[in-house]
Amino acid sequence: MTESTTVPPRLREMRWWDIDPVLELERDLFPEDTWSRGMFWSELAHARGPEATRRYLVAEQGERIVGYAGLASSGDQADIQTIAVARDHQGTGLGGRLLTELLRAATAFDCAEVMLECRIDNVRAQKLYERFGFEAIGFRRGYYQPGNVDALVMRLTDPSTSVQGTEIHG
């Protein structure tokens, strides 16, 4: 058995030193619409202190980052910015663990609803969001560039009712 099948990845807060390994994973999973280093720096700048409006996590397997996720809040609404799971960890429940922590963050930020955009061709992600109670409410044509791929807009009302399961450390 490999480490990935015996010990579940540890979830923890994303820090600046995680940006490079996260970018490697980002390039592998989202080659057409990869976030830049600056985008991650900007998001992390809003994730610390008493005025924090963001929550970013990484999933660590030994020394390797195998997933990450981020949420932005504004008023009573939160937006899931990103969730990514390494190819060799997909289907293990890690995406659900990351989503659970983002919904906990939305609840802590007192958000009444959570929104997200999902690639129209990412059925696996859509099914994950539906399991947590998200509903499709519309489309954004050509949202993902440069591939000109449409996004499915999904919404969850009352994220506190969907929070279950796992704990975060560190």
pLDDT value, residue 48: 86
Rounded Cα distance between 148 and 16, Å, is 30
Span 110-153, pLDDT tens digits: 999 999 999 999 999 999 999 999 999 999 999 988 888 899 99
pLDDT value, residue 140: 93
Query: For residue 28, which phi and psi values (nearest 5 degrees)?
Result: -70, -45
CB atoms within 10 A of CB 42: 12
Dihedral (CA of 127, 88, 6, 163) sign: negative
Mean pLDDT of 79-95: 95
Span 23-41, pLDDT tens digits: 999 999 988 888 999 999 9
Helix axis angle, 19-29 to 37-45, nearest 10°: 130
